[in-house]
Chains A and B, each alone.
Chain A
Amino acid sequence: MMSLPSLGTLSLLLAIPVIGAVVLLLMPRRQTKALFTIALLASSANFLWSLSILNQFDGSKGEMQLVERLPWMPGFGIEYIVGVDGISLFLVLLTTLLMPLAILASWSVKEKIKEYLFFMLLLETGMLGVFVALDLFLFYVFWEVSLVPMYFLIGVWGGPRRIYAALKFVVYTMAGSLLMLVAIIYLATRHAQTAQTMTFNLLQIYDLRLPFNEQTWLFLAFALSFAIKVPVFPFHTWLPDAHVEAPTAGSVILASILLKLGTYGFLRFAIPLFPDVALAAAPFFMALAVIGIIYGAVVAMMQADIKKLVAYSSVSHLGFVMLGLFALNMQGIQGSIYQMLNHGLSTGALFLLVGMIYDRRHTRLIEDFGGLWKQLPIFSALLLFVTFSSIGLPGLNGFVGEFLILLGSFAVTPHWAAAAATGVILGAIYMLWMYRRVIFGPLNNPENQKLQDLNNREILILAPIVALIVLMGVYPQPFLSRMSASVDLTLKRVFAPQTAPVADKEATAEENEEDGR
């Protein structure tokens, strides 16, 4: 299988959306149908192409696969290196799957479609790039590239407070990422001092084991950036604003994929690069995760706006992901990767459903609804199904992820796991309560009596998600087996014995001056 020439597979994955975006720019803006078709074609083609990655991927290996390397700024050790492993594989597939669905769900966007689709495609490349970049510089570039299109999507096509929400989103994210940039430069510099080569190659920098003190500062810089993105409890305040103001597809992408960039960042960068500090800080992060789980759930329960409720439920669900990550064992991390996918599917579907009802009724307030079961049977059935997935009903995907996470964290700190388990119960309460108020009861609002049920396009959008929810619920093995080798490798990096302390800073500095220029 590996004898296939793999050079170009991932690069093409990154290139297809950009090509689509450039074609869009050259099209006349009047022809909205054609614009939609091109965007849909580009994103669907990318999904099909990503399936070939799944095909080429060897699940028994933990190392990076399909690696491509090209010198970019050779004098500075900056390379274009991309690759996937069991951790990023399914996140890539999630991205490519949700993108065409999100575009298909953007039918209700009527204004400035050309720019809208342009930014959607650019966003896809940015997010995919974060998942496959193996050079710290390249990673940072994609990290920021994924920010700008989202800024436009919220700011131009969002709700009434869109400008405020968009700026808040950018400033919060940048505040973390700029410090991370300094940390990346510092890390590469320290690596150059010890290993005599200037490089930003992540796989080489993994081998660098800095003293605890330095690790602490660097970890903090990385962790702040990722914690804002996830968002971990005290850094979550940008999220409700961004979600509520974003257009439907924006919310879907934001919740399903952009938030995962943060958790992925922890797993790929912050934890294995600074293992000593990550181990020391694990109890702290588990505590924050549990606070996030319960806080998110309680606040979600109090919301009057369905979209805001789903937004806060994300804070709660991402808390589970963080809890699993910092359990730092096989079950915990596997569970949290699984939960990233689950959250991507179920919350994505929830935002899609909220968007569909909003398109019809132009309100998202729970109190405006009631008794929709009678009028919208398909909608109600799908919402019920996704609600069950979201609250972790056994037999559906959410259960597998939450179960693994609780299993993993119970092995480390039983009390935190127990506290987190209450979050599962709270999750069931707020979701089902919302469902009861929206779907059951008398259908006495005359506006609701005229609503149309979902059309074929909308059912088509949700069908693949529903299928995956079931598949991942009853047959998790193909997913978990492809993750385990890579998770194992990451854990080995974390628990590797501390090597000799790095050589003194001054002793090697001079030898690197040539590279430095």
Chain B
Amino acid sequence: MDVNLIPLLPATQVLLTALVVMLLDLFIKEPEKGLLAWISLLGLALGAGETVLLWGSQESAFGDTLLLDNFALFFAQIFLGVAALTILSSIHYVRQTKIHEGEFYELILFATVGMILMAAANDLIIFFLGLETMSIAVYVLTGLWRASSQSSEAAMKYFLMGAFATGFLLYGIALIYGATGATNLNQISAYLVEQPTDWPLYLVAGALLLLVGFAFKVGAVPFHFWVPDVYEGAPTPVTGFMSVAVKAAAFAGWARIVLHKLSPLDTDWAVPLWVLAIATMTVGNLLAISQSSVKRMLAYSSIAHAGYLLIAFVVGEEWGGLPLLFYLLAYSFMTLGAFAVITSLTDKEHPRESYTDFAGLGFKRPFLAMAMSLFMLSLAGFPPLAGFAGKFYIFRSAVLSGHVSLAIIGVLNSLLSVIYYLRVIVAMYMEEGGAEGKRFGQSPYLYIAVAFAVAGTLYLGIVPSKALEWSRISYFPLD
């Protein structure tokens, strides 16, 4: 029996890096711990290089439980990029807040390993393993700012809710296994095709439980209650990491398992998904309006964005596949950038994330404020920015597939979101005071991360052709 290890290469690369960082952490003294960040970045860069080299391959390993295809590589690249930008923007932050540096970087890397496995899994059990690897790392990351009681509270909440969601997911997997006799997605899919009707009720129940599990992980309404508290309590870079990478990983699994492999079940969940999508974007946007903390606002807005992404699942993979991937890519840049800017405001004692803390930023830190304005306008869907392109293709897929009502509800939601995104700009540029006497983070690495995010937001908005093509060839060769 020959074992094909190539599909594991990017994940192994990151895993080894994490282990190296873990070991070195024991020997490096406090002032030099910054080195660990660079080792982590190097490992991520190597991993990214491998994904580029492997691009276009179509392999499976370990008895068809793990796949290496463009879809897996696309998401691996997103995760690696997000992890790298998160590390870049937190080098200064972790030192200031006295978070253990070694652990912080290790856990980011471990979470990334889990995510890569989630996107590559072709078996429900492997997927579950990836999910747990990611989740446990992120639970710990959430509570890593030990000086902050909010952080501990958030970690506890996240852990309990996450465990609960995992229960749903596992129960769903068990029921599907009971019905089909398999955990391998190919076999499940074959079963569904062979028996187009006459499914046992518990198969449908299992699939719906799976759906609930995913809905928990991406924070879809009505499974969203943990999101605001956890996002607000977690250290800011971790919040950025969660709202982008964790969400993308969950959507990757959802796309491969539900949208693609279980597509014969489409008719059964079209209506629940429709309701879920509309409820998620509307509730997310309405609650975001009334927040006084920018971080919390972004938490609710991330719920709303999960709602827009759910449109892709309603319209089915034929129309929804490409927009889903493209939107996740666009969303990564603008959201990560926004959290990086919030990170820059933090000082030792105060997290400083309310609207009033942004007052005067516009003329005190012109670059950060202009970047933040771009991210906000992009999230609100103003052209020619990444967020607009993402929304355009999502809404377009809704219209093309005949769900015009979804597109209309979607754009009305965008209008709601304009109100609260612009409030950040109002605070930065139009309100006086606040900025005097404040110190703002000066970490050059954070500026690099923000600059990357700005470049991505502009690039995907103005010349999205390449990225669209990239998303297309990542989704459609799925077998």
Given A75-B469, A163-B426, A513-B318, A145–B412 Cβ distance below 8 Å? no
> Could you mark each residue 381-393 of chain B with 1 if its beta carbon is under 8 Å from any beta carbon of chain A, else 0?
0111000100010
> Could you mark each residue 441-479 of chain B with 1 if its beta carbon is under 8 Å from any beta carbon of chain A, else 0?
000000000000000000000011100110010001000
Given contacts A174-B415, A517-B472, 16 further A-B contacts (CB under 8 A): A75-B469, A112-B363, A115-B366, A151-B422, A156-B430, A162-B430, A167-B419, A174-B418, A175-B415, A178-B415, A179-B408, A179-B411, A182-B399, A182-B411, A189-B396, A517-B318
A516 contacts B400, C-beta separation under 8 Å: yes
A182 to B392, CA, bound (A): 9
A178 to B476, CA, bound (A): 30
Cβ contacts under 8 Å, B404 to chain A: 182, 186
| Contact of A474 with B by CB under 8 A | no
* Of the residues A74, A144, A163, A185, contact of B395 by C-beta under 8 Å: A185
A147 to B476, CA, bound (A): 37
| Contact of A73 with B by CB under 8 A | yes
| Contact of B407 with A by CB under 8 A | yes
Cβ contacts under 8 Å, B308 to chain A: none
| Contact of B319 with A by CB under 8 A | yes
Cβ contacts under 8 Å, B414 to chain A: 174, 178
A-B contact pairs, 11 of them (CB 8 A): A74-B465, A76-B396, A112-B363, A141-B384, A156-B362, A170-B422, A171-B418, A174-B418, A185-B399, A189-B396, A517-B319
A452 to B431, CA, bound (A): 33
| Contact of B294 with A by CB under 8 A | no
B396 contacts A185, C-beta separation under 8 Å: yes
* Of the residues A75, A147, A186, contact of B465 by C-beta under 8 Å: A75
What is the minimal beta-carbon distance from A7 to any residue of chain B, in angstroms? 19
A148 contacts B377, C-beta separation under 8 Å: yes
B465 contacts A72, C-beta separation under 8 Å: yes
> Could you mark each residue 83-126 of chain B with 1 if its beta carbon is under 8 Å from any beta carbon of chain A, else 0?
00000000000000000000000000000000000000000000
| Contact of B144 with A by CB under 8 A | no
Cβ contacts under 8 Å, B468 to chain A: 73, 75-76
Scoring A152, A163, A179, A517 by chain B CB atoms within 10 A of each residue's CB, the highest score goes to A517
A185 to B408, CA, bound (A): 11
Cβ contacts under 8 Å, A148 to chain B: 377, 382
285-319 of chain B: CB within 8 A of chain A:
318-319
B429 contacts A189, C-beta separation under 8 Å: no
Cβ contacts under 8 Å, B418 to chain A: 170-171, 174
Interface residues on A, range: 35 or more
| Contact of B322 with A by CB under 8 A | yes
| Contact of A49 with B by CB under 8 A | no
Cβ contacts under 8 Å, A151 to chain B: 422
Given A155-B430, A513-B318, A517-B322, A73–B383 Cβ distance below 8 Å? no
Given A167-B419, A174-B418, A516-B319, A181–B429 Cβ distance below 8 Å? no
B399 contacts A189, C-beta separation under 8 Å: yes
The 6 lowest CB-CB distance pairs between A and B, nearest first, are A178-B411, A141-B383, A185-B399, A155-B430, A182-B407, A144-B383
Closest to A118 in B: B370
Closest to B419 in A: A171
Cβ contacts under 8 Å, B407 to chain A: 182, 185
B399 contacts A145, C-beta separation under 8 Å: no
A189 to B407, CA, bound (A): 13
B322 contacts A73, C-beta separation under 8 Å: no
What is the minimal beta-carbon distance from A164 to any residue of chain B, in angstroms? 10
What is the minimal beta-carbon distance from B186 to any residue of chain A, in angstroms? 24
Closest to A221 in B: B408
Cβ contacts under 8 Å, B363 to chain A: 112
What is the minimal beta-carbon distance from B92 to any residue of chain A, in angstroms? 25
12-45 of chain A: CB within 8 A of chain B:
none
A517 contacts B399, C-beta separation under 8 Å: no
A75 to B469, CA, bound (A): 8
Cβ contacts under 8 Å, B377 to chain A: 148
A141 to B387, CA, bound (A): 13
B469 contacts A182, C-beta separation under 8 Å: no
Closest to B416 in A: A171
A57 to B304, CA, bound (A): 48
| Contact of A140 with B by CB under 8 A | yes
A178 contacts B412, C-beta separation under 8 Å: yes
A170 to B363, CA, bound (A): 23
A13 to B475, CA, bound (A): 40
A513 to B464, CA, bound (A): 20
A140 to B389, CA, bound (A): 12
A513 to B419, CA, bound (A): 36
146-163 of chain A: CB within 8 A of chain B:
147-148, 151-152, 155-156, 162-163
A399 to B20, CA, bound (A): 82
What is the minimal beta-carbon distance from B350 to any residue of chain A, in angstroms? 25
A152 to B362, CA, bound (A): 12
